[in-house]
Amino acid sequence: MDVYPLLKPHDWPHRELVAHRPITDQVPGVPIVAFGYNADRTYRFVPRDECPDAGAMYAEALANLAKLDYPWELGDVQGLRFATSSGNDFSAEKVLDPVAMRACHDLLEADRIFVTAPRRTCLMATRDGLPDEEMDLFVRLTLRTYNDASYGHAPISPALFILEDGVTRGVAFAE
């Protein structure tokens, strides 16, 4: 079975039982990357004591994630132009995939983007440098999705990942 990265909330109660690593050590409260296998629409997590090298497992998980090709779609809400790549098992985790994120940069025609993974299977992005009203709308969209349990998928985080050239360079939190 192929191992994949699974984004989980920073305070996930099982984090000490499973193999995981932080997305970044620089910002407290960001989601963690746990490792697991997709087994018939459920996830089997790798126990911590079965993972002697989280770095190597992370590289393997990212390589498997990169093989999944999920399309981006452009949306527009009240003048806010944004991209989504949602509805697939590892859509949210694509924030970790530099190639997928570079495709989002290209689609949004932006060198710097904000990306959110508020819930499982949900990934949204917009460009940096938006007028305040549009950025506020993107933040509200992120928070609404994060807080809306009717989506049927577990919440991950209201974090806004700041990406340049497909790589996370910083993190802010929707408020």
Measured between alpha carbons, how far is 160 from 124 in angstroms, rounded to an integer?
A: 10
Q: Within this chain, do residues 85 and 143 fall inside the same structural domain, yes or no?
A: yes
- Domain hosting 36: range is 3-66
- Confidence band of 1 (pLDDT split at 50, 70, 90): confident
Mean per-residue pLDDT of the chain = 93
Residues 38 and 78 in one domain: no
For residues 27-65, one letter each, b for 16 or more C-beta atoms within 10 angstroms of the residue's C-beta and e for the rest, the string is beebbbbbbbebeeeeeebbebeebeebeebbebbbebb
Instruction: Place 40 in a pLDDT band, splitting at 50, 70 and 90.
Output: confident
Domains: count for the chain: 2
Mean of pLDDT values over 86-112 = 96
Q: Residue 4: what pLDDT?
A: 96
